[in-house]
Structure 1
């Protein structure tokens, strides 16, 4: 009976840490571990109970459940390859658009190596790649699942400032991805009685005719936002700079600590929230809708960004894995 409750340990820890500060990355790991343990215990309980009534059916269901693991790997690989083709068709051949394709090819290569595992060195290489893919997939799924939960959590305060993060222009025009962020910012501006001030944040890229903030301000003014409710931050080139320069923009004008709402796309809101915490910004981030075909590559890019933020921890874990792999050649 005690084993049935083992999932409560990470669940309780997650609830406590989430209530204290939802913008911590450890919440993502605890949340995913809780879901895995809960699902495994529920599935095991179901099979055990079923075996009391019909042992043969329970065995068939158990085997079927185990077969879902390799099947999910195959289906995920096919989807990643298909999504990579979609990204090239709709978004071009830039490296950032090919991440799902590379991820799928990496899984495909690892699966292919298992068919040559009768060669000692290939079997060892496949084992290493298995461990790295499992670790990478754990991180990726943790970020995606917690990111979705983080976005669904209701807003419980009225912000003083709404920061809309830039995401690139087409010449001097606001593309659909950025328009979704701006519309989300307007939605919250109106929801809170048109009281917050909107800060549009984004510098000018080498392929852009004007700064992102300037184009974003034009979009919002055309939508009817009063000019006195709009501030422009036009120097930033990264998410961290977006928030840092926006904070400085209004930092000297405040008698009390302001509360912020950072608006970005759904896949990016978790990392934006973590940066907010690091900078000491009160509030949270929210995500606007994103085209489904765009999400796999976007989440992979975000996962890489989150790993880089805490690279020392991941370097230690991967390093220990590689050392263990090297020692397996001799013991």
Structure 2
């Protein structure tokens, strides 16, 4: 009950932070983790209660938990490996296509390493410390990844209420003056809000021209919007940005130059669903008060895209990532020195 009580306190504190600003990424991860922890603890408590304290019930519960611990990484791991094959078939053999393979093998490694520590520790000697360190780092980062997925889902399932004044569409690579399907999804998401307000909103198309692009992303996006009957005076071009942070920074400048109201404008940005949280982080860094909305992504592409985003987030929060790594390494050195 003590652990459940601590989890509830963490749940309430992080939930309060999110209520004040649902773009707070750290609070979101902690909130998601507390939700997962409470769900697991509640399930175990209910299962133990139903077992009635009998020996048979406790053994059945232990077997069920063991099967879950073994089967879950097996199923997820092999599913991700199969997804890699689908991804490479449709997108080619790029590094991004291999990310789901890496995560799939990672789940299998956690299973094998955990079983080795549990049943073979007396034969492994000092290697147990090394294996435990690697497993600790792996499990911690994987759990944070699961929390990230849960928080991303929670963030996007809560609708944005009220009218908006500006919609920023984040650019993506173009190969011609015609937008790609991925970029079209972002623009169509912006058009949903544009039409919902009967055109009483301006759309900022944000994206510069890369060295391998024939036109700027903003130019291609503006052309698409014109073809969808969006008037020229409702389109604002921001064609200098080359990163997501610059998307937010330069779009903010464009909006400030255009806004004529006395109150701060209501702003949202449109991107793909897997990219929303990183967009929110950069919006906060740029001082832009905007929430994000995400367009759907092909299911086979989603695992690799989410993994790529998660790696980028670990880089953004590199100090926290380094702290996790150093903590487990220090523990590993302590264990090795005692063996």
* TM-score normalised over the length of structure 1: 0.92
Conserved in 1, the CA contact under 8 Å of 2:126 and 2:336? no
Residues 112-153 of structure 1: CA distance to partner in whole angstroms, max 9, x if unpaired?
Answer: 566687444554432222112111111211111100110011
Partner of 1:93: 93
Q: Return the offset for 1:241.
A: 0.9
Is the counterpart of residue 301 in structure 1 residue 295 in structure 2?
A: no
Question: Which residue number corresponds to residue 35 of structure 1?
Answer: 35
1:83 maps onto 2:83 in alignment: yes
Q: Which residue does 1:244 correspond to in 2?
A: 249
Distance 1:66 1:6 in 2: 26
Q: Greater shift after overlay, 279-288 or 251-260?
A: 251-260
SS at match of 2:236: strand
Q: Does 1:278 align with 2:285?
A: yes
1:317 and 2:324 correspond: yes
Deviation, structure 1 residue 8: 2.0
1:1-331 equivalences under 5 Å are: 4-52=4-52, 56-57=56-57, 59-109=59-109, 111=111, 118-120=123-125, 122-255=127-260, 256=262, 257-331=264-338
Counterparts of 2:205 and 2:23, CA distance in 1? 22
Displacement of 1:45 in angstroms is 2.4
Q: Is the 8 A contact 1:172 1:208 kept in 2?
A: no
Q: What is the distance in 1 between the residues matched to 2:196 and 2:55?
A: 57
2-structure distance, mates of 1:250, 1:3: 48
3-state SS, counterpart of residue 86 of structure 2: helix
- My pick for the range that moved more, 144-153 or 123-132, is 123-132
Change in 2 beyond 3 A, CA 1:40/1:196 = same
RMSD of aligned Cα (Å): 2.2
- State the Cα deviation string for residues 25-67 of structure 1 (Å, max 9, x = none): 1222222222222212321222232122865245314421332
Q: Is residue 7–residue 37 contact of structure 2 (8 Å, CA) maintained in 1?
A: yes
Which consecutive unaligned segments of at least 5 residues does structure 1 have? none
